[in-house]
Structure 1
Amino acid sequence: MKKIFLIIFSLSVLLIGCQNKTISSTDNIKEKPEEKYYSYYTGKECTADDNNKPSFMGMIGNSSQARPQSGISYADIIYETSAEGGIPRFIALFHDNLPEVIGPIRSVRPYFIDIAEELELPFAHCGGSEDALNRISNDKNLMSINEISEGSYFWRDNKRKAPHNLYTSSENITKYIISKNLEIKNKPFLSFNSEYYSNSEFTEANNLSITINKGYNTSYNYKDGLYTKSMDGKISIDALNNNQLNFSNIVIQKTNINLSSDNLHLNIDLLGKGEGYVLSGGKVIDVTWEKSAKGSRTILYDKSGNKVPLSPGKTIWHIVDKKNDISIGTPSK
């Protein structure tokens, strides 16, 4: 009888011990950290749904008569290069923040189409060169939003002289995208790394000047983590909110820019490889850019052949001729 009692008592102790172990192991289970999401175009933290919002691009004039532009400070990425006569022009990407007014909207060129095609995004414009319009007509995959045929999504501002008075809005372009059932698949632009440019071995650089020709130059000054843009000696602002144009990253892509056979329009070589610079975090590094085929992404590499990330924030990407004068300043010791 004693033996039976001892056996029952021992089993009870074991069962209680197992239960206690089960409780303690459950108590030690930690909740999984909440997953974080980052903008494809700025690398800044966002919500899970933000990267699914429609993105689009706009052709924006940048001649002296077009300044100050509206909505340009909202753009996540701005590409800047020349049109006829070396007059600069922007194609800007809007996603994270959507302005109520965008413009002045101008005509498109084949190399701007190359950029929109690379990013697989629709682009708002007003007409274009013959080569550009022929390409749009022959390639139904290009998501052109042309004011010539879609005038209801644009308007003219009588306070300005044509052709520098055509505008659109994020609301109008989004309505167009929805009405046409455009399939937009946002994809990461480049990688972002907030610590990359803290490398003490990188060269310090707190100002930049790019002289395109006798009629246009642009420059940047670095302060508090941002590069403030000036054009022709005047700080660049957004007419919509009076904000200065500031960027976390400046990319300079050097290539061949030549007159086309009509001696008017430009040919800009965006395929192959070339040299350039990235300025970010008050530092500058030499890079090599590479684009293997039309529609493929332009990738930036360092001297060791590693892909170069950007700092989180807005980016301006200059496409310049190899012969253009570029001056990068370093702090005085």
Structure 2
Amino acid sequence: MATVGMGHRARTRRAATAVALLAATAAASLAAGCTGGRGSDDGRGQLRTPAESRSEGEAESPGESPSESAAAGSVLAVKIDNARAARPHTGLNSADIVYAEQVEGGMSRLMAVYATKPPKAVGPVRSARESDLELLRQFDRPTLAFSGAQGKLMPLINEAPLVVQTPGKVSGAYYRGTDKPSPHNLYLRPDRLLSAAPGADALTTGFRYGAAPSGGQKETSRTVRFPAARFTFTWSADRDRWLVSMDGTPTVTTDGKRVAPATVVVQYVNVRKSGFQDFLGNNTPYTETVGEGTAEVLRGGRAYDVNWSRPKATEGTEFTTSDGTPVNFAKGQVWVVFAKAS
């Protein structure tokens, strides 16, 4: 089993912003505008808005209709909780792309992107991060569904070229499930945000699909490690897919199906400190997805060493062999794990 280690390199992008603990008397006013200002991403506590606290079937405040709230033809990106208490996930197998990124304390979070077959429900939904804004610029005004964000970050999110959809913006879009404790039980109904699936043309990622490249090395299992998280992809010849395990446990969805992408990309990127932190003082890592570097593409039971390039945030990421030949992915779900470049 091959293992990819992840280290730490700091480079300040903007002046650091200290986030103070909120007194109980201030909680209500903060919750009205941001669900993630105090919350820790490993389930150690998070303020919730009244809309988030409602159970399934209870209406939020009146909001926009799907056609008004989402840009026509745009993808839906959902921030998904990946703490152990949040598993199993709902609707993850329906995603066209799943991005795995590092968050506070070396833990992980997922971003699922839907274009061709949005499920009936997705979750658990959790808060956004600054680096999500750079990653999402490759899409044409995408819809970002998330539970909230750190208070100082929300203005940046609101100014970004995307459709912001937090609980309470669209009537009945979010609900609290009964299968897990809060804050790991917030779910989204995609059809309340999208009037129709935008289709594969909305996936302006730069990814190519087709015949496998020549060469590569036989690979049966690949593990990528974050400081406090672990992803393992095991090749299944019977299913012609990579079976996902997280933190040593097979990854299944709430319907009992194993998560099994057709292609896995281990993309080596700069992971640095941002100007934000959680309420415990843990800095929020910033994952840089614009630039260039190396990557490994796993498909068909083989691993290919490739180069990646994304010159501008508004462009997708191209993957090429050493001689510049574009690398095709296998048709089906793609997982991209952002690993720390050495």
Structure 1 length-normalised TM: 0.73
CA contact (8 A) 2:74 2:139 kept: no
For residue 123 of structure 1, what is the aligned residue in structure 2?
A: 144
Range with bigger deviation, 284-293 or 115-124: 115-124
Distance 2:203 2:175 in 1: 30
The residue identity in structure 1 corresponding to 2:262 is S
Deviation string 1:195-226 (CA, Å, 9 cap, x unpaired) is: 324x3x3211111011112x321101101221
CA contact (8 A) 1:127 1:148 kept: no
1:69 aligns with 2:89: yes
Distance 1:130 1:297 in 2: 29
The residue identity in structure 2 corresponding to 1:246 is A
Total equivalences in the alignment: 261
SS at 1:85's partner residue?
A: helix
Range with bigger deviation, 268-277 or 66-75: 268-277
Deviation string 1:107-133 (CA, Å, 9 cap, x unpaired) is: 111212222221222121111134542
The residue identity in structure 1 corresponding to 2:244 is K
Deviation at 1:250?
0.5
Deviation string 1:143-175 (CA, Å, 9 cap, x unpaired) is: 221225446311111332111111012222225
The residue identity in structure 2 corresponding to 1:254 is Y
The residue identity in structure 2 corresponding to 1:286 is D
Q: Which of 248, 251, 270 is equivalent to 1:233? A: 248
Q: Map of 1:79-94 to 2, 5 A cutoff?
A: 79-94=99-114
CA contact (8 A) 1:109 1:131 kept: no
Distance 1:277 1:127, change over 3 A: same
Distance 1:209 1:314, change over 3 A: same
1:192 aligns with 2:206: no
Q: What's the RMSD between the two structures over aligned residues?
A: 2.3
CA contact (8 A) 1:113 1:132 kept: no
Distance 1:187 1:62, change over 3 A: closer
Q: Map of 1:34-49 to 2, 5 A cutoff?
A: none
Q: Map of 1:226-265 to 2, 5 A cutoff?
A: 226-239=241-254, 241-262=255-276, 264-265=283-284
CA contact (8 A) 2:273 2:286 kept: yes
Q: Which of 241, 250, 273 is equivalent to 2:292? A: 273
Q: Which runs of 5+ in 2 are unaligned?
A: 1-71, 277-281
SS at 1:279's partner residue?
A: strand
Distance 1:172 1:128, change over 3 A: same
Deviation at 1:259?
2.3
The residue identity in structure 2 corresponding to 1:256 is N
Q: Which of 1 and 2 has higher RCO (CA within 8 Å, sep 6+)? A: 2
CA contact (8 A) 1:255 1:322 kept: yes
Q: Which of 282, 285, 297 is equivalent to 2:301? A: 282
For residue 147 of structure 1, what is the aligned residue in structure 2?
A: 167
Q: Which of 199, 202, 216 is equivalent to 2:229? A: 216
For residue 313 of structure 2, what is the aligned residue in structure 1?
A: 294
Deviation at 1:185?
6.7
Range with bigger deviation, 125-134 or 165-174: 125-134
Distance 1:266 1:150, change over 3 A: farther
CA contact (8 A) 1:204 1:282 kept: yes
Distance 1:311 1:97 in 2: 18
User: Relative to total residues, which structure has the larger helix share, 1 or 2?
Assistant: 1
CA contact (8 A) 2:297 2:305 kept: yes
CA contact (8 A) 1:116 1:122 kept: no
SS at 2:242's partner residue?
A: strand
Distance 1:293 1:187 in 2: 16
Distance 2:209 2:324 in 1: 17
Range with bigger deviation, 123-132 or 249-258: 123-132
1:161 aligns with 2:176: no
CA contact (8 A) 1:80 1:90 kept: yes
Deviation string 1:60-81 (CA, Å, 9 cap, x unpaired) is: 0101111111111111110111
Deviation at 1:138?
2.2
Q: Which runs of 5+ in 1 are unaligned?
A: 1-51, 324-333
CA contact (8 A) 1:126 1:148 kept: no
Percent identity for Structure 1 against Structure 2:
20
For residue 135 of structure 1, what is the aligned residue in structure 2?
A: 156
